[in-house]
Amino acid sequence: MNASLTRILPVIAIGALALAGCSSDTDAPAATGTGTAASGVSLVKDGVLTVCTNPPFAPFEFEEGGAIVGLDMDITGQVAKDLGVTQTVLNVPFEAMESGAALESGQCDVIATGLSITDERKANLEFSAPYFDADLGILVKKDSGITSEADLAGKRIGVQISTDAEVWVTEKELGGVQFQDLGLQVQSLNADQVDAVMNDYAVLGSYVADGYELLAPVPTGATYGLAVKKGNTALLEKVNGTLERIKADGTWAEIYTARIGVAPSED
């Protein structure tokens, strides 16, 4: 977090933070302390793969019918399937995930939240193989007068704390305004508290139907990965094994097409 950025936490942020304990269970048994999967992998709950995420970040994670669903949950659901366990999904503040605190405290086994793989995060997390290329996008109101990156000078740009967008805005010495999650960013744009919102391109596309404009993507070279606790190589191997399997058997193409709306390009 950069101290030069102005942090805005409107009243609606309180409700978002209160969701931190929200979860989505799939026939999950009660916790019995540190347990194992049938495969012998250690888990924080017996017979359950506990996943930390931070909606709203559609199509990767969002709430639907009282459950947290999305592309990331589809992937971790496949990991749970391969481990022979059920899956529980927890809504956790983003900073607790990217810092590794949620894993170190035993809150969850896996982080799946559209998390970009960076050298800084590698100091706290063990990352899986990359599964998604992530460029940044700029969301504005129609007729805002902002048509490209060059028009952002002197503007208030809503960014999510501890994300690639925040880093990009800081490096460009632009007017970043911090928010806890994507939903608060867009609400602030709608209320004219910011002039533009910057986040990952893939998650901003769904807002075009609501009357916003999405500018051309800002290439970053970033990729998403799932993350586990440092040193948990047994679980990491299982996660990577699942990623390899779903790419090979067509499951990934089905998940990607259903959530993104187009088929994935050939690797």
- Lookup: tokens for 67: 């459950």
Tell me the mean pLDDT in the region 12-24.
36
- Mean pLDDT value across residues 67-82: 98
Tokens of 167: 């880093």
C-alpha torsion sign, points 225, 228, 234, 239: negative
Give the pLDDT confidence score for residue 2 in this predicted structure.
29
Band (8; pLDDT cuts 50, 70, 90) = very low
Of the pLDDT bands very low, low, confident and very high (cuts 50, 70, 90), residue 39 is low
Residue in the block written with tokens 């669903």: 69
Residue % of the chain over a pLDDT of 70: 84
Taking the domains of the chain in order of start, what are their residue ranges? Answer: 6-10+134-222, 13-132+223-260
Q: Render pLDDT for 127-146 as a digit per residue (tens, 0 to 9).
A: 999 999 888 999 999 999 99
Listed residue (178, 184, 186, 185) closest to 207, CA to CA? 186
* Least confident among 12-26, 101-115, 126-140: 12-26
Report the pLDDT value the prediction gives residue 266, as an integer from 0 to 100.
Answer: 62
What is the CATH number that goes with domain 6-10+134-222? 3.40.190.10
In this structure, of 19-33, 46-60, 134-148, 218-232, the range with the lowest mean pLDDT score is 19-33
Q: What is the mean pLDDT of the chain?
A: 86
Which pLDDT value is given to residue 87? 98
| 6-10+134-222 and 13-132+223-260 agree in CATH topology | yes
41 pLDDT exceeds 70?
yes
pLDDT digits (tens, 9 = 90+) for 136-189: 999 999 999 999 999 999 999 999 998 889 999 999 999 999 999 999 999 999
Residue bearing the bigger pLDDT, 43 or 33: 43
Check: pTM over 0.85? Answer yes or no. Answer: no
Q: Using CA atoms, how far apart are residues 177 and 199, in angstroms rounded to an integer?
A: 12
Residues contacting residue 225 through CB under 8 Å, at least 6 positions apart: 115, 116, 117, 127, 128, 129, 130, 131
Q: What six digits make up the tokens of 160?
A: 């999510």
Q: Picking from 54-58, 107-111, 179-183, 257-261, which range would have the lowest pLDDT averaged per residue?
A: 257-261
Q: Beta partners for 175?
A: 156
Element (H, E) at 83: helix 71-83
Nearest-angstrom CA–CA distance, 182 and 159:
8
For domain 13-132+223-260, is the CATH number 3.40.190.10? yes
Can you tell me the mean pLDDT for 97-120? 96
- Pick from 170, 230, 175, 168: nearest CA to 199: 168
> Residues 222-250: what's their mean pLDDT?
97
